[in-house]
């Protein structure tokens, strides 16, 4: 029987990419499949937590027994996350949120013109995790960092700037880590300055590691 060690937590997980629309048929996005976030949501629910999954567009089946809120853009994800926040005790942000969105969304399909070059103006999206960091209270905030270089430096900067308790840094240039694949390879950095290198493992296994570590942060004196 799975221990119900998360029964006192309400965990909000974000998963998948966001889509930033250019016109009715095109968007900017990334390769996130949602697998990492869905694995965490499933494991947290199995371990007794109430789970809210705010999901960008994915092909994954919604996990049974979980409150799934579907969104598309970063602005919609921000709204859904902030709406749920009052009842939440932990946030785990596995979603790959687009940092920028097109300045304007054309109502009609953009037509090909005579010019060889086309310019696209982008606006910065709100950083949802930074916003959460400013209002976190005694919630636990866990982020991911998808990096292709200087993993430690970038992850530590995000940990500090976003006021996180821990961050999982993925080297997404590794073929078996990060986007789309069923495995992940992360180094975890904690608020207290410690770090932990995890082995390559399935996203399902990593989900349980993340949840074990959050319990350790919640109950430091119980750690054995
Ligand atoms: O979905 P999969 O295919 O399984 O892939 C998993 C994954 C690679 C997407 C996942 O493991 C991962 O690394 N997710 C975070 C990807 C990302 O956007 O990283 P980032 O370094 O750009 O963002 C850092 C953190 O800030 C993330 O927790 C992100 O959710 C959050 N963020 C970023 C930008 C923004 N505007 N708002 C945010 O909240």
Question: DSSP label at 141?
Answer: E
Phi/psi region, residue 157 (left: phi>0; alpha: psi -120 to 50; beta: rest), is alpha
Give the model's confidence band at 194: pLDDT under 50 very low, under 70 low, under 90 confident, else very high: very high
Per DSSP bridges, beta strands 166-171 and 186-190 are: antiparallel
Q: Is the CB of 101 under 6 A from ligand 1?
A: no
Q: Is the CB of 17 under 6 A from ligand 1?
A: no
- pLDDT for 221 equals 84
Q: Is the CB of 189 under 6 A from ligand 1?
A: no
The structure tokens 């990060």 sit at: 178
The count of C-alpha atoms lying within 13 angstroms of the C-alpha of 23, restricted to the half-sphere facing its C-beta, is 10
Q: Return d(Cα 193, Cα 203) in angstroms, integer.
A: 25
Question: Which residue's CA is the nearest one to ligand 1's atom 5?
Answer: 179
Q: What 3-state class would DSSP assign to 16? A: coil
Query: Quick check: 223 pLDDT over 80?
Result: no
The structure tokens 């900017």 sit at: 28
Atom of ligand 1 nearest to the CA of 147: 21
User: Which tokens is 203 given?
Assistant: 């996203």
Length of the chain: 224
Question: Which residue's CA is the nearest one to ligand 1's atom 8?
Answer: 178
Q: Is the CB of 133 under 6 A from ligand 1?
A: no
Question: In this predicted model, what pLDDT tens digit does every residue of 1-47 receive, in sequence order?
Answer: 788 999 999 999 999 999 999 999 999 999 999 999 999 999 999 99
Contacts 24+ apart (CB under 8 A), 211-217: 211/6, 211/40, 211/43, 211/44, 211/47, 213/166, 213/188, 214/90, 214/92, 214/140, 214/142, 214/165, 214/166, 215/5, 215/6, 217/140, 217/165, 217/166, 217/190
Atom of ligand 1 nearest to the CA of 95: 30
Query: Quick check: 140 pLDDT over 90?
Result: yes
The active-site residue out of 30, 125, 150, 163 is 30
Q: In a mutational test of the pocket of ligand 1, which residue from 12, 97, 128, 189 has the highest number of ligand atoms less than 8 Å from its CB?
A: 97
Is 161 a catalytic site residue? no
**Nearest Cα to Cα of residue 9 among 39, 42, 38, 52:** 52
Question: In this predicted model, what pLDDT tens digit does every residue of 55-111 receive, in sequence order?
Answer: 999 999 999 999 999 999 999 999 999 999 999 999 999 999 999 999 999 999 999
> CA distances (Å), 66 to each of 51, 73, 147, in order?
6, 21, 30
Query: Quick check: 222 pLDDT over 80?
Result: no
Query: Quick check: 156 pLDDT over 90?
Result: yes
Topology of domain 10-99+124-218, CATH: Rossmann fold (3.40.50)
DSSP for 47-116, please give it. Answer: TT-EEEEEE-S-SSPPPTT-EEEE--SHHHHHHHHHHHGGG-SEEEE--B--SEEES---SSPPPP-S-S
Q: How far is the CA of 14 from the centre of ligand 1 (A)?
A: 9
- pLDDT for 145 equals 96
The structure tokens 């904690």 sit at: 190
Cα angle: 42, vertex 85, 56; to 5 degrees: 50
């Amino acid at each position: 029987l799975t221990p119900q060690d998360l029964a006192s937590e309400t965990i909000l997980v974000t998963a998948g990419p966001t889509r930033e629309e250019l016109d009715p048929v095109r968007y900017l996005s990334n390769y996130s499949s949602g697998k990492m976030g869905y694995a965490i949501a499933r494991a947290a629910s199995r371990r007794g937590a109430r789970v809210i999954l705010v999901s960008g567009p994915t092909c994954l089946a919604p996990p049974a027994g979980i409150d799934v809120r579907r969104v598309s853009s970063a602005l919609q994800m921000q709204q859904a996350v902030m709406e749920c926040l009052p009842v939440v005790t932990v946030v785990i942000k596995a979603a790959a949120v687009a940092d920028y969105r097109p300045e304007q969304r054309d109502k009609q399909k953009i037509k090909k013109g005579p010019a060889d070059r086309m310019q696209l103006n982008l606006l910065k999206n709100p950083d949802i995790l930074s916003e959460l960091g400013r209002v976190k209270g005694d919630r636990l905030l866990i982020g991911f960092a998808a990096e292709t270089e200087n993993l430690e430096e970038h992850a530590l900067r995000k940990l500090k700037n976003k006021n996180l308790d821990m961050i999982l840094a993925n080297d997404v240039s590794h073929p078996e880590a990060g986007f789309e694949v069923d495995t992940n390879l992360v180094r975890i950095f904690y608020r207290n300055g410690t770090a932990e290198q995890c082995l390559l493992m399935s996203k399902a296994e990593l989900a349980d590691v993340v949840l074990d570590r959050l319990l350790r942060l919640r109950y430091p004196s119980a750690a054995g």
